[in-house]
Amino acid sequence: MDPKPTTATPPGEEDNEVVAELLPLIRVKKDGTVERLRGTDFVPPSIDPVNGVSSKDITLEVQFRSLEARIFLPTNVKQRLPLFVHYHGGGFCVSSPFNSVFNGFLATLAGTARAVVISVNYRKAPEHPIPAAYEDSWETLLWVAEHRHGKGPESWLNNHVDFQRLFLGGESAGGNIAHNVAMRAGSSNVWAGLGLDIAGVMLIHPYFWGSHPIGSELLDPEKKAINDSLWPFICPLSPSNDDPWVNPVSYMAPSLEWLGCQRLLVCVAEKDILRDRGRLYYEALCRSGWMGMAEIFESEGEDHTFHLTDTESENTKSLMKYLDGFLNSDLF
C-alpha cells in the first residue's frame, strides 16, 4: 500500500499566519510582522494652501530616546499665541501626526484658533505596549516646558508661544493620553518645580472604558466587543478594562481632584459608543473636589471622531468653533 500523501507547508507560509488582530485597525503575524490597516499615509510638512499655516517636522531628544513630532504655526504672528500639545488617536496602535487626517485637522485648528500646535508621534502597541505612549507623551510635555524662558531647542516655541496659555488634548486614545498626562502633572514634583500651569485640557471623544457596561453600550455588540478587546491588546501587562489608565472612575483609580489643569472640556458625540463614558467622566470630575472649571459639549447625530473625516459639515464647524473658543477664552 502506498503511503498516505502529506501536504507540507510552503516555506514562509507558516510565518504569515495571523496570530492576533484587532479589526479594523491592526493585524499581527507569527513572524512578528505588524500590519497596520489605517492611518499609514504620509503628508509632507508644508504651507497649507487654504489657511496659510506652516508646518515642519522636528525631532525631540527626550530621556534615552528620540521622538518625531510635527509643529504648526499660523501666518502673520504679531503676538504670542496659545500652545496646544496634541496627542493623536488611533487606539494606541495606528496613525500618526503625519497622515492626511491629522495633518489636515491640526492645520485647520492652528489657523482658525490662531494657536501653535505640536503633535508627537508616540510609540505604539503592540511593539511598544502601554505605558510607552504615556511615557513619550509625558516626556513631550517636559520637552515643551524647556521653552518657557525662551531658551529651548525649537525656535517656533521660543518666539511665538505664550506659556500662560498651555493646553493639552487629543481625540479617542489621544484624549485618554491627555487625561493621564494631566493626572501625572497634578501629582508630579517634577512638574510642580517648573512653575508652569496647564491652562486647559480638551478631551475629544475620549477613549475610556470599563468591565461593566453602562448606558447604551450593550446596544451595539460589535462595537462593544472591539472595545472590550482593545485594552488587553495594547496593555497585556495590565489587561483589565478597569485599569485606572483606561477607566479613570474605577474603584482602583486615584481621585480626579488631582487633575493638573485649570479647565477641562469633554466633547462627546451622540452615536458614539464611548459617549456615556465621557459623560460619566465629566460628572465624576465635577463631584471630585477638583478646583477647576469643567465643560461638556455634545454633537447630536454624530459618531466617533466624525470631525476628522466629515470636515465640512455643520456639526464639524460647530465643534471646531467650540475648540477655538476654549483655546482663546478670556478666562486664561
Phi and psi of 58, rounded to 5°?
-130, 165
Length reported for the chain? 332
Q: Give rounded-to-5 percent helix, strand, coil for the chain.
A: 30, 20, 45
Query: CA-CA distance, 2 to 217, in Å (whole number)?
Result: 59
State the alpha helices, DSSP H only, in 58-131. 100-113
Nearest to 118 by CA among 72, 80, 75: 72
Count of CA atoms in the C-beta half-sphere (13 A) of 43: 19
Exactly one of 172, 205, 250, 307 is catalytic; which is it? 172
Exactly one of 179, 250, 272, 307 is catalytic; which is it? 272
Q: What residues contact residue 116 under an 8 Å CB cut-off, 6+ apart? A: 71, 72, 73, 74, 81, 82, 83, 84, 110, 156, 157, 160, 161
172 annotated active-site: yes
304 annotated active-site: yes
Nearest to 302 by CA among 275, 263, 284, 278: 275
Q: Per the structure block, which three cell numbers stand in for 318?
A: 460647530
324 annotated active-site: no
Query: CA-CA distance, 259 to 294, in Å (whole number)?
Result: 11
Contact 146, 64 (CB under 8 A): no
Q: Per the structure block, which three cell numbers stand in for 222?
A: 460589535
Query: CA-CA distance, 20 to 31, in Å (whole number)?
Result: 12
Report the catalytic residues: 172, 272, 304
